[in-house]
Amino acid sequence: MKYEFSPELQAKAEEISKVLFPHIVINRVRCFRSYGTSSRGTIARCHALGKLMQKAIGIKAIYALEFLSERFDKLSYKDQIKVIIHELMHIPKTFGGGFKHHNHVTEKNVDLFYERFESLKLKNLDTEI
């Protein structure tokens, strides 16, 4: 596998988190594109450094969002935004290195957050004019 930091995905994750997930400390989240996956059906992953490792090396929680380029890049813009929202939803409000699981991060909830994000973006455009 090859991993490459993605400034454009980082910027999009920052924009989304400001609007939908203000608890996310975006300077401790990094977005990467990965290349050369052999996994089936996976589009993206959220990685975290567990509490014990955080304590062992003396740092706070860090999250890495991985977007599997072979699949993610083929998605429509809308679906890419939904995938980014999905991965950000895995980060709990405590921002401590844990995860919210798929009983919370569901397609229905992702769709609700996507609609909220789009409507708030439109409101912001209206107020800027």
Q: For the chain, which domains are there?
A: 2-128 (3.30.2010)
| pLDDT for res 127 | 53
N-term to C-term CA, the chain: 45
Residue 104: alpha-carbon gap to chain centroid: 15
**pLDDT tens digits, one per residue of 98-127:** 888 888 899 999 999 999 999 987 766 555
Average pLDDT over residues 78-103: 92
- φ/ψ of residue 60, rounded to 5: -85, 175
- The DSSP letter of residue 121 is H
pLDDT digits (tens, 9 = 90+) for 4-50: 999 999 999 999 999 999 999 999 999 999 999 888 889 999 999 88
pLDDT at 129: 46
